[in-house]
Amino acid sequence: METILNIINLGKTYQSAGRTLTVLDQINFSIAEGSTNAIVGPSGSGKTTLLGLCAGLDRSSTGAVELNGINLGNLSEDQRAQVRNQYIGFIFQNFQLLPTLTALENVMVPLELRGEKNIKARSMDLLDKVGLADRGHHYPAQLSGGEQQRVSLARAFSNAPRILFADEPTGNLDAETSEKVVKLIFDLNKEAGTTLVLVTHDLELAAKTQRILRIKGGKLIADEKNTNA
In a domain, 142, yes or no: yes
- Predicted confidence band of residue 143 (pLDDT cuts 50, 70, 90): very high
Q: Let me know how many helices (H) and strands (E) the chain has, helices first.
A: 7, 10
Confidence at residue 43, expressed as pLDDT on a 0 to 100 scale: 84
Q: In this structure, are residues 27 and 11 in contact, taking their beta carbons and an 8 Å threshold? A: yes
Handedness of CA 46, 49, 55, 58 (dihedral sign): negative
Residue 162, pLDDT above cutoff 90: yes
Answer whether residue 91 is part of any domain.
yes
Query: Range of 165's domain?
Result: 35-59+76-225
For strands 211-216 and 163-167, give the pairing.
unpaired
- Asked whether residue 100 is domain-assigned, the answer is yes
Q: Give the model confidence (pLDDT) of 20-69 as tens digits.
A: 989 999 999 999 999 999 999 988 889 989 999 999 988 899 999 999 99
**pLDDT of res. 27:** 95
Mean pLDDT of 166-188: 89
- 191 in a domain, yes or no? yes
Instruction: Answer for the pair 186, 166: CB distance below 8 angstroms, yes or no.
Output: no
Structure confidence at residue 26 (pLDDT): 94
Instruction: Indicate whether 5 belongs to any domain.
Output: no
Within a domain: 23: no
**The domain that contains 49 carries what CATH number?**
3.40.50.300
Is 12 within the bounds of a domain?
no
Our count of domains for the chain comes to 1
Coil, helix or strand for 208?
coil
For residue 64, is it within any domain?
A: no
Give the pLDDT confidence score for residue 100 in this predicted structure. Answer: 95
